[in-house]
A and B are shown apart, each in its own frame.
Chain A
């Protein structure tokens, strides 16, 4: 069996590289759309201030984009590097959306992003606008396919285990694409990206307003950001991810963990506003309940029940026992592919095969497991409740704070009198919030899925590559160093570009530093 340390290190590495990658992705998602909107205004009105805005925010977009791309390369390859068994086990289903992301989205985005930066003098205004929209479209399509892949990990529909090839294979690709969990996650995630873009533009504009610099640009940017931000944050909250949580047992388990809901309550369930959940006592101390709210959010109804953790664990125990039949049949099929009885028995129980694999943490051959081990395995389907409970609450709190910031900003931009300075200070302070919320959101989603890497199908601890501990230590150390250095450089360049500000009024912005001569004629 794979050593537990190797599994933990592989998870740590994935968490580090994925969460780092997602510092840049949401800003790319949000800013690309905002750039396209600003440029649309420029092309429609012909006012050059809007083009200057596109160019200025484009510089910041570019600094961020480079790291998004750089860290995305790691993402595409580390499934194979660190998660070889996972890659074999689900590549048939999971690989396709990743490949289509490349074909349909990333090619579009990456091919046109060069023209976005280099094409100002080579393209007509309209053609450049089309290029900008194609970049924005590419980034958003990209998110769609990545979330289809991730959604399938949360709700693996349209697929089945094939005993001849010992892996999951696709049975209904349309079901994989139109997976309701994936669709909910897509809307939720891109909206969160738009919020990041809006907060970024709002915050930097507020900084200029406070300093009294670049007012024309900052004013317009502030208005666009507050309008875009309020729409996006409403979308994040109202079309929240929770719509996808009522679908499968594990999604239900995640929901129960987010709410620290141990017992099933009669519908509609109450919402635990605060409490201290305890894994060892299997209860939530000092819980403050708000009646009805949870049932409404979780099921969008007043009569559907949300199962509690105890009920779900009991169900998991039943599925483990059924899974053992599947496991036994599979072992027989391995020896004799033609064993018709074993195949029939496997087909009847294969959906629970993954549950039997949970026992591999305790015993090599799950069929030899004791009753206690089965109970233990059933309880292992409960994620770390307190961590999920609190991170979820902080994320939601961030979302509502941001909604308030955008609402106040928009209200002030619509008034005749100038906005107060405290508003700008708040906008500046609010800048880290959407990133905090986005990272916590991924934490809830992925940590809350544990112990599964593919929910109900493959436990995380079985999914790694057979690597040595030193291999992992070298790459974790390496990524930390490289990513750390790049983070420092990125932030410095961002601050430098913000301090320098836009080149308002110039037809062509000087390349770097002041005093560079501009050769208009040579630009052709």
Chain B
């Protein structure tokens, strides 16, 4: 068992799954507080309403954000070439994400320190940017990953990105950005409907119903784009050596506009995942109207998971295709770190991830219950 678990091929596939788990963990936890940030100007008009919205995520957003930080660390450790290439390639886009994310910790913490309406409205904008901008850019990044990004490696494996920031802002990628924005706004609305009371929750229900529907429609539209071959696609044409050295120069890959459907055609059962990616947001949309907040939030969560999983499944075993030198694309079998590192990191994950889930669950249970205007007013300094 251990032998099987620790052979290079299994480890690579486990870490491909874990890469997805981290992205999904980030999207379902930090996703809702980014959604709340993006919704802030729309669901909450007065200061006390905004405080209600902010305090639904106040005590937990910090822990949630660690999924993002951990995602960065884990990509660095398990997929160093991906970390090197994507972060330097998407340089200015990453800077925008960082800029937006830097505003969040200070926005949450500093907003309540002064009563001046201008002070507070400035921080509200900071929280809005901190929620909406990353939600949009992450989708744009995924869209570009689907289309392929122009890059190559030198023989020293030094990465060279050949595109520009504006190259990243192509219509297809922007469409994916829209999917991810509506998806996370839906998730934020589901959280607010679940956790807040009063006008904030009411507005979240109305907006949530609409964006959940939009999420389902846009995601389905994305499927149509793939079907029409507009989102591109790449496939590995040389024999795959699953336990070979991590050197992306040793294979051949071709662009093939139907390649992203290949895995679903080969294993039709996988189609359940994108199907749920459409159905779950529809269930959420219905849940918003029926005021079934628990089910709505779970459906929203499932929708987020399935939408992200669909991308991974479509591209497997490719992680980041190169549009200019397809052979240099990063794939599960040639972009990972060494077997020893994957194994060490797996051991660390097996020890710590259950612990993290356990204490996070405990924290959420301590904070269980609705956030209302009265509870915020009454909580004194124990609320933002």
Contacts and interface: CB of A to CB of B under 8 A. Distances in A.
A84 B92 contact: no
A95 interface: yes
Interface string A77-120: 10111101101101111111011111110111011111101111
B69 A91 contact: no
B363 A112 contact: yes
B257 interface: no
Contacts of A426: none
B181 interface: no
Interface centre among A99, A107, A513, A516 (most CB of B within 10 A): A99
Given A84-B85, A87-B84, A91-B77, A111 B360 contact: yes
A74 interface: yes
A516 B374 CA distance: 13
A3 interface: no
A437 to B, nearest CB: 26
B341 A169 contact: yes
Interface string B31-75: 000000000000000000000000000111111011011101110
Interface stretch (B2-10, B151-159, B191-199, B284-292): B151-159
Given A80-B88, A100-B348, A471-B92, A107 B66 contact: yes
Interface in A51-67: 55, 59, 62-63, 65-67
A119 B65 CA distance: 19
B345 interface: yes
Nearest to B68: A73
A518 B380 contact: yes
Given A70-B106, A523-B380, A84 B63 contact: no
Interface class of chain B by DSSP:
helix
Contacts of A164: 245, 247
Given A85-B159, A88-B84, A170-B338, A103 B356 contact: yes
A165 B247 contact: yes
Contacts, number: 284
A429 interface: no
Range class of the B interface residue count = 35 or more
Interface stretch (B110-118, B142-150, B271-279): B110-118
B224 interface: no
B254 interface: no
Contacts of B345: 96, 99-100
B341 A170 contact: yes
Contact of A66 (B110, B115, B383): B110
Interface of A: 55, 59, 62-63, 65-67, 69-74, 76-77, 79-82, 84-85, 87-88, 90-96, 98-104, 106-108, 110-115, 117-123, 162, 164-167, 169-171, 173, 334, 465-467, 471, 474-475, 478, 482, 486, 489, 493, 496-497, 508-513, 516-523
Contact of B112 (A110, A167, A512): A512
Interface of B: 58-63, 65-66, 68-70, 72-74, 76-78, 80-81, 83-88, 91-92, 94-95, 98-99, 101-106, 108-110, 112-115, 155-161, 245-247, 337-338, 340-341, 344-345, 348-349, 352-353, 356, 359-360, 363, 366-367, 374-375, 377-383
B338 A92 contact: yes
Contacts of A489: 106, 110
Given A84-B85, A88-B157, A95-B77, 4 more contacts: A69-B105, A79-B76, A519-B378, A522-B379
Nearest to B94: A81
A107 B70 CA distance: 8
A162 B246 CA distance: 10
B87 A84 contact: yes
A115 B81 CA distance: 37
A66 B108 contact: yes
B109 A63 contact: yes
A90 B109 CA distance: 36
B313 to A, nearest CB: 24
A164 B245 CA distance: 6
A111 B339 CA distance: 31
A474 B94 CA distance: 12
Given A87-B80, A98-B73, A99-B76, A107 B88 contact: no
B247 A95 contact: no
Given A80-B83, A81-B91, A114-B63, A103 B352 contact: yes
B92 A474 contact: yes
Contacts of B367: 114-115, 118, 122
A482 B381 CA distance: 27
B383 A118 contact: yes
Q: Which 7 residue pairs spanning A and B have beta carbons closest together?
A: A91-B80, A522-B378, A80-B87, A95-B77, A114-B59, A111-B63, A102-B70
